[in-house]
Amino acid sequence: MKKICMKNGMKIIYEYRESDITSFCVAFNAGAEREGKKERGLAHVVEHCIFKGTKKRSEAQINSEFDEIFGFNNAMTNFPYVIYYGTTLSKDFEKGFELYSDIIVNPTFSEEGFEEEKSIICEELTEWKDDKQQFCEDELLKNSFSNIRLKECIIGNEKNIKDFSIDELRKFYKKYYTSDNCVIGIVTSLKEEEVTDIINNYMTLSKREKPSLFDYEYEKNTSGIFTSKMDVKGAVIQYLFPIYKLKDDEIKALRAFNVIFGEGTSSMLYDKIRTKYGLAYDIYSKINNDGGIKLFYIGLGTASENFDKSIEFVNDTICEAKNLKGQFSSDKLLKIEKTMSLKRSLKLERSIQLAKELATYELMYGKAENVYDEVKDINLLNEDYIIEVVRSVLVTPSIQVVKPNK
């Protein structure tokens, strides 16, 4: 892996991989986290409207060329970033990158296309709310926080979406779609010089007029149990614990702990809630360390009459986890590190996933190497340190329950 800083401030994270395909990801610090209070949802609208036409291509031409050149292509707006990514045959990389560059550098943002996409996003918002897991997470975030952007849905709300003007869209694009606010991750067997020449030739964005550092906003959660209802069978329960105060080694310790606590069918949560008591058909815990998010989650689905008992047993398991002994010896940490490394390698085996991770890790942390380093040297941790981190995290949770309407 090599980090290349261009004269215009753009960064390229280049990784050589012997293959006939090339994957790349163009990432901007232009996600929902950058929106003001009256702009909630605007980052996602920009992402949609980017594809509506350029100075030399119509929307139909763009769609046709995507089908012709790409085996995979997509775009996504998250809280900390927006990305445009895809995979081509290596011999077609220049064609593919030129297409994406044209879309990103030269969008026309027509009024007609803008209004079309606003209607589509309102429909997307309806479907988003029909997903009970997503609905539970959105309710959890809304009830856990008071001021930060994280408390509202990434794609915004219907009123905001309908009220946005084309001028607001163009202003947001101009402010954040700049060369020094961009990282490109690429996984390829093409030579470094060839790749950088192509990128430099086509990605001709300007620098910001007034460069500034972007900080992420965090907030202490409101603890307690919150209940919402929707048309579902069974109940969904999600826990949230903020981890924004943890340092890199503490995050690493939490990852090691989570292998034992909530990953897989031999985990503490699965063994107690699913295997022993049969209360959940699905239970997990996970870490989201993305900029502007940084949360530890527990989630499960259960019968609606069992949600009280499920919360009781999850809480019991959390108490047990705070007093673990003998689970993080040197030998066991070596096995945990091996498990984590295997899962990470399987995840990054897909070149498009690796390109995405390299670009977004550099954008969020300034450290693309964290893609590999966050599972490195787990065996050097000690048990007391891991338990200390666990005890600092697993306190005062926000708990969201979604139950059937009836």
168, 314: one domain: no
Give the Cα separation of 120 and 122 in Å (integer).
5
Tokens of 39: 């702009």
Query: How high is the pLDDT of residue 211?
Result: 62
Query: How high is the pLDDT of residue 337?
Result: 93
Residue 257 within a domain: yes
Confidence at 231, pLDDT banded by 50, 70, 90: confident
33, 82: one domain: yes
pLDDT over 70 (residue 309): yes
Q: What is the residue range of 112's domain?
A: 2-202
Query: How high is the pLDDT of residue 80?
Result: 95
Query: How high is the pLDDT of residue 213?
Result: 65
Residue 389 within a domain: yes
196, 247: one domain: no
Residue type at position 106: N
pLDDT over 90 (residue 395): yes
Give the Cα separation of 82 and 46 in Å (integer).
10
Q: Which residues contact 308 (CB under 8 A, 6 or more apart)?
A: none
Q: Which residues contact 261 (CB under 8 A, 6 or more apart)?
A: 267, 268, 269, 285, 317, 321
Burial class (CB in 10 A: 0-12, 13-18, 19+), 91: exposed
Give the Cα separation of 78 and 30 in Å (integer).
9
**Global pTM value:** 0.94
175, 235: one domain: no
| 3-state SS, one letter per residue, for 105-137 | HCECCCHHHHHHHHHHHHHHHHHHHHCHHHHHH
Place of tokens 């005890």: 391
pLDDT tens per residue across span 313-333: 999 999 999 999 889 999 999
The sign one gets for the Cα dihedral 157, 160, 166, 169 is negative
Q: What percent of the chain has a predicted confidence (pLDDT) above 90?
A: 87
CB 219 within 8 A of CB 148: yes
Residue 211 within a domain: no
Query: How high is the pLDDT of residue 241?
Result: 98
79, 194: one domain: yes
135, 80: one domain: yes
Report the DSSP beta bridge partners of residue 295.
242, 288
Give the Cα separation of 367 and 191 in Å (integer).
23
Nearest to 182 by CA among 368, 369, 26: 26
Residue 350 within a domain: no
313: Cα within 13 Å, side-chain hemisphere = 23
Q: What is the CA angle 311-255-365, rounded to 5?
A: 120
Residue 234 within a domain: yes
Confidence at 5, pLDDT banded by 50, 70, 90: very high
Residue 15 dihedral angles phi and psi, to the nearest 5° = -130, 125
119-133, 266-280, 282-296, 391-405, range with the lowest pLDDT: 119-133
Place of tokens 């995840």: 347
319, 393: one domain: yes
148, 62: one domain: yes
Query: How high is the pLDDT of residue 212?
Result: 64
Residue 354 within a domain: no
Mean pLDDT, the chain, whole residue set = 94
Give the Cα separation of 39 and 37 in Å (integer).
5
190, 302: one domain: no
pLDDT over 80 (residue 209): no
Residue 283 dihedral angles phi and psi, to the nearest 5° = -150, 140
The secondary structure element, H or E, covering residue 59 is helix 59-69
Question: Diameter of the chain by CA atoms?
Answer: 65
Give the Cα separation of 61 and 106 in Å (integer).
14
Q: Last residue of a domain, which of 144, 172, 202?
A: 202
Burial class (CB in 10 A: 0-12, 13-18, 19+), 148: middle
- CATH number of the structural domain spanning residue 299: 3.30.830.10
Residue 333 within a domain: no
302, 395: one domain: yes
Q: Last residue of a domain, which of 202, 236, 270?
A: 202
pLDDT tens per residue across span 43-57: 999 999 999 999 999
28-32, 70-74, 205-209, 251-255, range with the lowest pLDDT: 205-209
Residue 395 within a domain: yes
The secondary structure element, H or E, covering residue 307 is helix 307-321
Give the Cα separation of 304 and 9 in Å (integer).
53
71, 30: one domain: yes
Tokens of 361: 């890790």
Nearest to 290 by CA among 132, 101, 79, 147: 79
Place of tokens 């084309």: 166
Work out how many domains the chain is built from and give that number: 2
CB 200 within 8 A of CB 6: yes
pLDDT tens per residue across span 77-86: 999 999 999 9
Instruction: Give the strand pairing for 2-5 and 11-16.
Output: antiparallel
Q: Last residue of a domain, which of 202, 233, 260?
A: 202
59, 29: one domain: yes
Give the Cα separation of 162 and 117 in Å (integer).
10
pLDDT over 90 (residue 374): no
Report the DSSP beta bridge partners of residue 3.
13
Q: Which residues contact 181 (CB under 8 A, 6 or more apart)?
A: 9, 28, 29, 30, 208
